[in-house]
Amino acid sequence: MPVTPTYPGVYVEEIPSGVRTITGVATSITAFIGRALRGPTDEPILLNNYGEYERIFGGLWNDSTMSFAVRDFYNNGGSQAVIVRLHKEGTEATLKAGKESETTIDLVAANPGVWGNKLRARVDRTFPKSITDQETDTAEQLFNLYIRDGETEEVETFLKVSAKYGHPRQVDKVLENQSNLVRYSGRITADIPIPTPNNDPLEGDLWSDANSNKVETQGEDGSAITQAEFIDNKETAKKGLYALENTDLFNLLCIPPYNDDNNIDSGLIDAALGYCLKRRAMMIIDSPSEWIDKNTAKQGIDDSEQVGSVSTNGAIFFPRLMMPNPLKENQIEEFAACGAIAGVFARTDASRGVWKAPAGLEAVLKGVTGLSVPLTDPENGELNPKGINCLRVMPPAGRIVWGSRTREGDDMLASEWKYIPVRRLALYLEETLYRNTQWAVFEPNDEPLWSQLRLNIGAFMQNLFLLHQVADLPRGYLPERRAGLVRHCTPDDQLGEACQRPGDRKGQTPKRRQDAQ
């Protein structure tokens, strides 16, 4: 802070340096949207490993293509995923806590699904003597509640809860804030009778005994989701696709096939691509199930009814993957490729950087036993110029990603965003600079501000140049970094970058060298 001299002497003042270090954002946080066996609905949940998915969303489920995609994501090197569970006409199981035929309280499963049918509840009023002595006036209003999930054998314990309205441990509030399994059915607005204990000593398994409250109304998983569960009247409520508004950042979007044809509706693809453009993310699109060979793929890529509109923020991959299904005695089945490819994106980002094309001999698809449509080099040569990224089998590498073009990758379009790494690097720069220059808002628009922006952004861009994320240009030449930056918002006051393009068609004609005379 400024120093006010008041006496003869030496004063020390710290002068701000103007350095505000710019830190790059994450590049491979992947959002998955679809059905799951259990878990919160229309709420984005950030996960760091597949074990968390199993614990929260129930793991693999034959009716959930998303569950297999998330597994493939982590198997192929993914690190962080955002999961949004959707359902259609699913219902929650209900049960009572307390001694049957006497006083009970009504409970309901925390979210829809058959999983809730294995819930059990027990009540007791056993407290330490010290608690009873200290709370003589309120001990009669307290009880202990135990909830058990029969699937995971997890037991939630809630001690000293009360059915008295306004009590600090009011049971509906406690369950709402602390339980992952149940909620109180309704809300307590007046004192209600406390449930009768049903925790008497019994022989055998305490939870399987008849005195352990069982589900009264069965929960249901509902039917297959449709496009409506993703986008119809969902934006304002921030549900479906737009539940991602409640998460801070995601870079990749995967919507595994969900409809009866094992595809994604083109209307949803268009909506998702538009949303990715807004959020500076990229959508990985699975090829339609109708693409059974090179010809159907070549014709279908121009059909917006199959693959949606052309976009810089999407990429389509063909064909689909063949893998064993552990839920069906490891029978080989066809699976969507988006999860595994997102994992390859994440693995490449971690090892090489976002500027590296997530393709090549090192872009191996782990856990994949085959491809639904084997492709040859000539067939690949017909699909690649159309912007279709092919998955190939190349010994000894195995199953690999062999394409890196966006949905604007058709040679006829001559787009500057033809290549995935170029587009993703631009999105990375935009998001990083957007987040790291918010401090400049409302600052005086004069030379000190401009110099700070030049200093900080210039240092960040120079670091990218040294890491070869931008083109290898002569030293001292920072791509289109012009002084001024924001001075008058003219074309001369801009920040730019020159990206390296991946070479997906390389060739060299040998020439005879003439010896010097």
Same fold, 30-88+224-425 and 94-217: no
pLDDT at residue 18 greater than cutoff 90: no
Query: Can you name the CATH fold of 30-88+224-425?
Result: Rossmann fold (3.40.50)
Average pLDDT value for residue range 199-210: 51
Query: Which of 263, 249, 312, 259 lies closest to 283, judged by CA?
Result: 312
Sequence spans of domains, the chain? 30-88+224-425, 94-217
pLDDT at residue 516 greater than cutoff 70: no
Least confident segment among 140-144, 158-162, 376-380, 507-511: 507-511
Average pLDDT value for residue range 119-134: 71
- Residue 474: the pLDDT is 42
DSSP character at residue 298: H
| Contact criterion met (CB below 8 Å) for 50 and 74 | yes
pLDDT tens digits, 449-488: 999 999 999 999 888 888 765 554 444 444 444 434 444 4
pLDDT tens digits, 264-299: 999 999 999 999 999 999 999 999 999 999 999 999
DSSP letters of 4-41?
A: ---SSS----PPP-------PPPS--EEEEE--SSS-B
pTM, 2 dp: 0.89
pLDDT tens digits, 316-341: 999 999 999 999 999 999 999 999 99
- Residue 470: the pLDDT is 57
Query: Which of 307, 303, 270 lies closest to 288, judged by CA?
Result: 307
| Structural Rg of the chain based on CA atoms | 29
| The residue type at 6 | T
- Residue 437: the pLDDT is 95
- Under CATH, which architecture does the 94-217 domain have? Sandwich (2.60)
Give the Cα separation of 87 and 62 in Å (integer). Answer: 15
- Residue 308: the pLDDT is 92
Altogether, the residues listed in the chain come to a count of 517
Q: Give Cβ neighbours of residue 17 (< 8 Å, ≥ 6 apart).
A: none
- Residue 515: the pLDDT is 45
CA atoms within 13 A on the CB side of 165: 6
